[in-house]
Structure 1
């Protein structure tokens, strides 16, 4: 069994696509119209184009707002992305205007930081020992 796809709920798919590609550096894998305004919109790591896809899922379901608001209020990230160096990525993203809710924090062998993806979610980046 493998994880092939996971998702984050986003308020605006076009805005999310810009953030996840232009700021975070992911690349578009699928962009297919679904219905009148929504799209099947996925991004992947440029280092693993055949790897796990991240679906930028429209946040239209009524439960989404309550769910995301509760996570953000409690400071809980919706997803975690692996990076080679959290401190370097933190500096790069801050330089691009990304707002962090948690600066780099060392927790034993793991270093994490948490940012706002501008689409309603908190995202954690982490560096773990190999």
Structure 2
């Protein structure tokens, strides 16, 4: 068994697609519309057949409440692995990404940082120290 799909709620799929592809460097994998719904996924450019991230519209009031609640409590909606959190932080910050948590070492094993994805979510990046 393996994870093939994970999703996050977004308040604007088009803005999310732009941010996740142009700013974060993901690649659009699926973009299918049917009966007013848009199935929109992105993947890592390093693993185009890997886990897809569904940019799911938060049209449902329950989804909106969930998204708002975890954002307000500074809980990341997703976590992405990067080679070097500090380098990624500097690169994304230079592109105008707003960080809510600067690079922070946790338990001398993990370095994390978190940013606002402009679509209603906090996203954490992390590097596991070897």
In which range does the TM-score fall when normalised by the shorter chain? over 0.9
State the 1:34 CA deviation. Answer: 2.3
Q: What TM-score do you get using the length of structure 1 for normalisation?
A: 0.96
1:66 pairs with 2:62: no
CA RMSD of aligned residues (A): 0.9
C-alpha contact 2:109 2:128 (8 A) present in aligned 1: yes
The offset of 1:109, in angstroms, is: 1.2
Moved over 2 A (4+): none
The one-character-per-residue Cα deviations of 1:55-80 (angstroms, maximum 9, x if unpaired) are 00011111112111111111110100
- CA drift of 1:85 comes to 0.3
Q: Hey, what does 1:76 align to over in structure 2?
A: 75
- Aligned residue number for residue 26 of structure 1: 26
Aligned to 2:113: 113
What number of residue pairs does the alignment pair up? 129
* TM-score, scaled relative to structure 2: 0.96
Identify unmatched segments of 5+ residues in structure 1.
Answer: none
- Note the C-alpha offset of 1:84: 0.2
